Amino acid sequence: MARKMQKLKPDTVLRNYWRNNERFADFFNAVLFDGKQLIKPEELEDRDTEESSILEHRKYAETIQSSRDNIKIRKRSTVYGVEFVMLGIEHQGHIHYAMPMRIMGYDYGVYKKQYDDNSSKYKTAEGMEADEYLSHMKKTDKFAPLITVVVYYGEKKWDGAVSLHGMLDIPEEMKGYVNDYKMLLIEAAKSDLSLKNADNVDLFNLLQIILDREITRDEAREKAIQYSEERKTDREVVMTVAGATNSKIDYDAFGKGDGSMCTLFEEIAKENEIKGIEKGIEKGIEKGIKGMVSALKELNIPDATIMQKIREKFELSGEEAERYITRM
């Protein structure tokens, strides 16, 4: 029986949380200035999060554009003229080992868009030196700087590179001549940020409890429930914890209910039970396909006929059916 599609998804919950200027400013102040309140909420304005620049390497552009694990919130300071981007990696149990390169590509896309917008002003060489016209840019033109922070919500310790150099095999004597590109990484499971916003404090404290691999799930459950009850944690924070850990719960129903940590753990338990049932069904189907292929092969039935039969019975694509034939 097909499950009802949820309207509100984990990435939407995370975006909704971080769109709040008070939370966003507090996070970047903690990351960049150790909690000193230099970035003010009232100076932030929302920016388009889509990479609107087409990169020269089309396939690489597509990997940036279609990366589902990236939850982007982008704002600009009207005081400093700096753009801030929060790039959140959903909890999928995987670490992206090419992340520094992806950050470099994303940042390039933003700068390229600024360059393209700026150069479109210069239709003729009037008032420009020859070098400026050739560059489609005056030497006095300046672009807005960009600061990108990656937030990793996974429970595994990040063991990937945090800079381009970490991805390259560089001879020691050449290292000083190879350009590097560093990324700012925050691991939610072990961050020690100097946060001031109460919601942010609760969010990261709860994430550290839930993502702690040194304690059992039952212990994490009890600690998280106790913490949220003592702090009277806001429902939106609890929902964001669920979104950050990529819990496939019914967010609409959860948001309309009591929105407590206790309810969240109950929903996650139900979800895990459903996942277990679905996994069991999938294994049963695969076993049935393999059994049918094996039996038909023993009868010396041609592969083409076997393919046709398992496609019809199990509603497989031609490619899927062929995989089962070639494997056995």
> pLDDT tens digits, residue range 57-88?
444 444 444 343 456 788 999 998 998 888 77
pTM, two decimals, is: 0.72
Type of residue found at 142: K
Q: CA-CA distance, 119 to 174, in Å (whole number)?
A: 36
pLDDT above 70 coverage of the chain, percent: 77
Q: CA-CA distance, 140 to 121, in Å (whole number)?
A: 14
Q: CA-CA distance, 76 to 24, in Å (whole number)?
A: 11
Q: CA-CA distance, 215 to 223, in Å (whole number)?
A: 10
- Sheet order of strands, 70-77 included: 44-46, 70-77, 83-89, 146-152, 184-187
Beta-bridged to residue 70, according to DSSP, are 89
Strand locations in 17-138 (E): 44-46, 70-77, 83-89
Which class for 24: exposed (0-12), middle (13-18), buried (19 or more C-beta within 10 A)? buried
Q: What is the pLDDT of residue 14?
A: 83
**Closest to 119 in 3D by CA, of 91, 141, 88:** 141
> pLDDT tens digits, residue range 133-144?
999 999 999 999
The answer to whether 54 touches 71, Cβ cutoff 8 Å, is no
Mean pLDDT of 150-163: 90
Residue 217, CA distances (Å) to 67, 211, 232 in order: 30, 9, 22
Q: CA-CA distance, 243 to 44, in Å (whole number)?
A: 24
Structure token digits, residue 152 = 């990793």
Q: CA-CA distance, 217 to 210, in Å (whole number)?
A: 8
Spans of all domains in the chain: 10-119+136-259, 260-328
> pLDDT tens digits, residue range 240-249?
888 887 766 6
Asked if the model's pLDDT at residue 276 lies above 80, the reply is no
The H-or-E segment that residue 16 falls in is helix 10-18
Mean pLDDT of 3-9: 50
Mean pLDDT of 197-225: 88
